[in-house]
Structure 1
Amino acid sequence: MTVFTKKLTALLPAMLLCASLSGVTTMSYADTSNPNVPISLVKNWDKTFAESTKVDHRKVTFQNRYGITLVGDLYLPKDRGERKLAAIAISGPFGAVKEQSSGLFAQTLAEKGFVTLAFDPSYTGESGGYPRNVASPDINTEDFSAAIDFLGLQNEVDRDHIGLLGICGLGGMALNDAAMDTRVKAVATSVMYDMSRAMGHGVGDGKDRYTSADRRAVLQYLNAQRWKDAENGTFAPGSHDIDVDEKGKVSASERILPETLPANPNPVLKEFFDYYRMPRGFHARSVNSTGAWNATMPLSFMNMPLLSYANEITIPALVVTGEKAHSRYFAEDAFKAIGSNKKELVIIPGANHVDLYDNVAGKIPFAKFEQFFKSNLR
């Protein structure tokens, strides 16, 4: 690599950010193997929700501790004046992008007076990292801390008043980060999933699904897939929801959601399908909307429990879930594990899991989130 090429590579993130803020509509890069380059920086409004006239919005980039460039949407209240504001880093659901639920949460909370940052986790959406469509309990936790780094350097932000909000699977990562990053002053989740538990023990109806024998069978299945990937030199696609039948046979689909719903679908499948595959929440960059994870992605989650140190979370914590959410037991158990003496569990009557992604008609308690962060980020 020449000196010029090295300098150009080092400057690319800053160049891309400047370009994105100066009117470029779309920038795409074929070199997805370079984690220092975003996959794209789309400036035009391509969210699944309407743009607010009450906030300023801009596309931003920042790097995590592993050198992966993350892409986010920064939302600021238009009436912010010159004062520094409290800020919230937001991500999730698992397999979603910032143009979906996290962006809606970020824009709405910016309307209520916060600086907010909705970001794509590493290896997904517009963020960098190769191979694509990978998740990691460690790296995705680090992504939240990287978002704090970025927010704390903004002129509009009071770096001593930064909180986290994680939705669905990123809720577990937000709690994990709150247990480690002492700069976090308050943490909230919406219909949180503990992805280590979900992948390592199976998602059941209010309880873990896998027996110890099932868990072993899943590990054997995933490691057999590793041999195939190594032999082929590619990463096969697959769903993170892995089934084990009564005879111990393991199976998983090649994509997260089907092209069409089967007859009499499982209600949870229908919830996700009606959001990710329908105009309501579809987005082309969302793994859940268009494709699959790498098939071996669950391995690290199965071996690295996310909430091992939840008892060390001593900051204010708000855990929101739905009365009818299939994920409710994750939230309730996480709430019990959190060590803070200032914590609250809110169960929304009649709400299922996906209602708390985007159903603002009385389901998402934005007033509660506003009250929580205003009380604890003062």
Structure 2
Amino acid sequence: MSVQSDTHNDTTYDVNRRNVLKAAGTGIATMSLIGLSAETANATQALTLSNEWDKTFPKSNKVNHAKVSFVNRYGITLAADLYQPKDSNTQHAAIVVCGPFGAVKEQSSGLYAQTMAERGFVTLAFDPSFTGESGGEPRNVASPDINTEDFSAAVDFIGLLPSVDRERMGVIGICGWGGMALNAVAVDKRVKAVVASTMYDMTRLFSKGYNDSVTQEQRTKTLEQLGEQRWKDAENGSPTYGPVSLELKGGEPQFVVEYAAYYKSTERGFHPRAINSNASWTVTTPLSFMNMPILSYIDEISPRPALFIHGEKAHSRYFSETAFAAAAEPKELMIIPDATHTDLYDQLDVIPFDKISTFFQQNI
């Protein structure tokens, strides 16, 4: 893994695993690069990470920030932002954050991570494989398996930091990565608690459409079309991409208008690396999602607690309600009055950070 701190003029140091462990108590803010091994350091060199503050939210003076990278189980190098309380000489509970689907760490997940770091947690907001500053080819494709693994790889990374008590690990997943987070925590028993905020189950959405409205005939037709698309991609030697996301033409559902209001607005959430702001997914991205339900083992999160947060007026509310019903105790569903789906992306007066902080303080 590697770290580029914005607190030390980008000076770079190589530190082996033994020295990392000996450095407990010194805090990651004193380092610009931590390498677990020569192989890992070499693997991360392919990423070129932006050094300027390019988030969609103001930088906090209450925490230390560093750009970092690490490698997942499939050998893909991921880029992330590490946020730490100023008192990094003591060990803290840690939280990894990702989402929404088609977003980057400079948007909602970074806001969640920085805010939770202000509240005393070491946090990590990462770009999923194939997106943002993270590695992986082809670009702008998603996988329920690989993107679930991304959460556990983030846990691997943050749990080795000297400022982190790795027995106190939590996860936050937002929107489509809310479902991915629940899937990851079900299998990764190192994580002690999980929050799914304004979640989607992307496998359910791709398989059945909104409100499970897709018929078997429509599903079959879609799969036939995706099969034909594979022939075209195979002949061309590269994937085909859809139209640029959220380019409104009029007549779209209100929730699509709300998405555009977040992702396309430079005053709110636009970021040039975000698929939802400035690009598109590969046309065949739905394939693996249509064949792999991700919440089959959600009950195995128990006895670790899960907190579901959703807006009262969100079009996607049923995803959280269904997942909550399938989860085992201890669990809690928090419905935010009058809130829409995207209100929980960035509205500081709507996102229940007090509740999220208390939840993690009590459970990790």
Q: TM-score, normalised by structure 2?
A: 0.88
Q: How does 1:170-209 map to 2 (within 5 A)?
A: 170-203=177-210, 207-209=211-213
CA distance in 2, matches of 1:71, 1:102: 13
CA distance in 2, matches of 1:18, 1:198: 37
The one of 72, 90, 100 aligned to 2:80: 72
Partner of 1:41: 49
The one of 131, 142, 154 aligned to 2:149: 142
- Contact 1:257/1:291 (<8 A) preserved: no
Partner of 1:270: 257
CA distance in 1, matches of 2:103, 2:347: 16
The one of 93, 100, 104 aligned to 1:86: 93
CA distance in 2, matches of 1:333, 1:266: 23
Secondary structure in 1 matching 2:96 = strand
Secondary structure in 2 matching 1:237 = coil
The one of 161, 185, 197 aligned to 1:154: 161
Partner of 1:228: 232
After TM superposition, give the deviation of residue 160 of structure 1 in Å.
0.2
After TM superposition, give the deviation of residue 82 of structure 1 in Å.
2.8
Q: What do the CA deviations read for 1:291-343 (whole angstroms, capped 9, x no partner)?
A: 1011101100001111011111111100000001111000100111112x211
After TM superposition, give the deviation of residue 264 of structure 1 in Å.
4.0
Instruction: Sort the Cα spacing of 1:24 and 1:323 in 2 relative to 1 into closer, same or farther, 3 A.
Output: same
CA distance in 2, matches of 1:272, 1:182: 34
- Contact 2:78/2:126 (<8 A) preserved: yes
The one of 303, 306, 311 aligned to 1:317: 306
CA distance in 2, matches of 1:39, 1:200: 34
After TM superposition, give the deviation of residue 20 of structure 1 in Å.
7.7
The one of 316, 335, 350 aligned to 1:347: 335
CA distance in 1, matches of 2:122, 2:4: 20
After TM superposition, give the deviation of residue 277 of structure 1 in Å.
0.8
Instruction: Sort the Cα spacing of 1:231 and 1:21 in 2 relative to 1 into closer, same or farther, 3 A.
Output: farther
> What number of residue pairs does the alignment pair up?
332
- Coordinate RMSD, CA, aligned: 1.7
Secondary structure in 2 matching 1:188 = strand
After TM superposition, give the deviation of residue 256 of structure 1 in Å.
2.2
Q: How does 1:1-378 map to 2 (within 5 A)?
A: 14=2, 17=3, 23=9, 37-78=45-86, 80=87, 82-203=89-210, 207-238=211-242, 254-258=243-247, 261-279=248-266, 280-314=268-302, 315-339=304-328, 341-361=329-349, 363-377=350-364
Identical-residue share of aligned pairs (%): 57
CA distance in 2, matches of 1:232, 1:73: 36
- Contact 1:36/1:67 (<8 A) preserved: no
After TM superposition, give the deviation of residue 257 of structure 1 in Å.
1.4
In structure 1, stretches of 5+ residues that fail to align are 1-12, 26-33, 239-253
After TM superposition, give the deviation of residue 18 of structure 1 in Å.
5.4
After TM superposition, give the deviation of residue 22 of structure 1 in Å.
5.5
Q: TM-score, normalised by structure 1?
A: 0.85
After TM superposition, give the deviation of residue 263 of structure 1 in Å.
3.0
CA distance in 1, matches of 2:9, 2:282: 34
After TM superposition, give the deviation of residue 275 of structure 1 in Å.
0.6
Q: Which amino acid aligns with 1:304?
A: M
Secondary structure in 2 matching 1:53 = coil
CA distance in 2, matches of 1:19, 1:191: 31
Q: Which amino acid aligns with 1:290?
A: N
In structure 2, stretches of 5+ residues that fail to align are 12-41
- Contact 2:311/2:337 (<8 A) preserved: yes
CA distance in 2, matches of 1:152, 1:180: 17
Q: Which amino acid aligns with 1:105?
A: Y
Q: Which amino acid aligns with 2:362?
A: S
CA distance in 1, matches of 2:313, 2:48: 37
